[in-house]
Amino acid sequence: MSSAVESQVLNAFPLDLSQDRYAEVPYEEKARLFEEVKTDIRYHDVLYGCYECGICVAACPSARFYDFSPRVIAQACAREDVELVYTLMNDSIWDCSQCFSCDRCPRGNSPGGLITILREVAVRNGLQSARDALEGYGRIIYKIMSTGTQVSPDMLQPDAFPDWGTHVHEIAENLEVWRRALPPETLHTTDIGWDVDEKTMIELYLIWHMTGVMDMIKEVDEGLFMILQDVMEERLEDAGYDDVTFD
């Protein structure tokens, strides 16, 4: 069973909050990861404690479809329950919709914001669960990192969106001419959301370089990292940035 399929199947079962599942992972490693979460500059902006009122769960779309609870995540962090935080970091956080409906917390917490930090730490440390969650997502990361726009018109292909019906076929068949039938001049593109200046793209690549984002990609998908590295380093070199490499 592929890990992606396994993740789907796991979602169909109740979340196992016992500490047996990750018993083989040393406590020190779990504590190190939680420390990384707590030292994020945003941590104290998103967690103030927990009344255990459940308002966040009532507002949460993911809680209606998965065995998922923003309250449990906020509580686990507030109580500094290292074992439970590790379990949630692996088996729960990727179910969050990141809609921030939970921000109506009367204590001022943002469980969604807390989950953002937990996800970042999971990615930065290359946790297998993060790799599984992002399996199949690589082409999207490629698009955003290399073009600066998240989705492009040519991604509207029937095999990618079979559940969106026959109109996706029609769009794919007419894509180029329909894009030219758009009055704004910036929108005549098919492989990028809009026409982005070359200089602007280079500035984006320099931002990725200076903030270590490519290191995070390397942790979760080395193949994707290598493709991005080739594309970006070539364009950077053409722009005169021979010294900028992602090694």
Partner 1 sequence: MSYVPVEEIIKSQKTPGFKTTPEEAPTEDFHDILFQLEKEGELIVQRVPEPYLEVPTKYGRKKKIPLQKTWHHKSCGQCGHIPGYSTSIFWINRKLGFDYIDPRDQTSCTAWNYYASATSNAPAQAAVAIRNFSSAYETGYFPIIHCGTSFGHYKEVRHELLHHHELRRQVRDIMERLGKKLVLPEEIVHYSEWVYAIRDRIAEHQVIDMSNITATVHPACHYHKLVEEDAVYDPEIYGAQRTAIVTGTLKALGINVKDYSTWFDCCGFGFRHILVSRDFSRSFAVQRKIEVMKEEVNPDVTVTHDTGCVTTLDQSQFAARAHGRKVGIPVMSDSQIAALAMGAHPYKVLQLHWHNTDNKPFFEKLGIDWKKKWQEFEEAVEKIKSGEKEYLTWEDADA
CB of 146 to partner 1, least distance (A): 11
Which one, 87 or 116, has the nearer CB to partner 1?
Answer: 116
Which one, 19 or 36, has the nearer CB to partner 1?
Answer: 36
Which one, 84 or 117, has the nearer CB to partner 1?
Answer: 117
CA distance to 23, 246, 247, per residue, from 90 (Å): 13, 28, 28
CB of 20 to partner 1, least distance (A): 27
Q: How many Å apart are CA 159 and CA 29, to the nearest integer?
A: 41
Q: How many Å apart are CA 47 and CA 52, to the nearest integer?
A: 13
Which one, 20 or 166, has the nearer CB to partner 1?
Answer: 166
CB of 23 to partner 1, least distance (A): 26
CB of 96 to partner 1, least distance (A): 8
CA distance to 185, 188, 219, per residue, from 131 (Å): 39, 35, 8
Which one, 79 or 230, has the nearer CB to partner 1?
Answer: 230
Q: Residue 95's Cα: distance from chain center in Å?
A: 11
Q: How many Å apart are CA 49 and CA 148, to the nearest integer?
A: 37
Other CB atoms within 10 Å distance of the CB of residue 205: 23
Q: How many Å apart are CA 98 and CA 93, to the nearest integer?
A: 10
CB of 212 to partner 1, least distance (A): 7
